Structure 1
Amino acid sequence: AIREDNGNILGFVKKYKDFSFYWILNAGHMVPSDAPYASRVMLNAITHPEKLHDWRSGCCDRKRSD
């Protein structure tokens, strides 16, 4: 799960080999507008995976700035 610092679940990610599927909650096709923090976490995970915790643990090391 993708979580905020307070524990709220923002979405989920499934990974298999080189494929990742992100399901962002409370967002339509305009994810950056509907869920800006979750979309930023998702993009950071894609572009800088070494900077984030294991997604299966359910949290990230980024602080929310929205």
Structure 2
Amino acid sequence: MLERYGPFADFLGQEGDDETAWLALRMSETSGRPLGSGDWLDMLEAWTGRTVKPQKRGPKGKRN
């Protein structure tokens, strides 16, 4: 892995990292949800058959 990608600490310390990216990474780390584009998350849901994107919060509405 190190030969292919190098040290992970170096990857995290790359130039151009911004506060928004770090915040998104931290939020994903806390929630346990994957971090990626909407298209990638859609593909992941289709591939796994599981919901990975956040859903509407609160109780489910009544069905009529």
Q: Same fold (TM over 0.5)?
A: no
Q: Return the structure number with greater relative CO, CA threshold 8 A, min gap 6.
A: 1
Bigger-Rg structure (1/2)? 2
Normalised TM-score (structure 2): 0.29
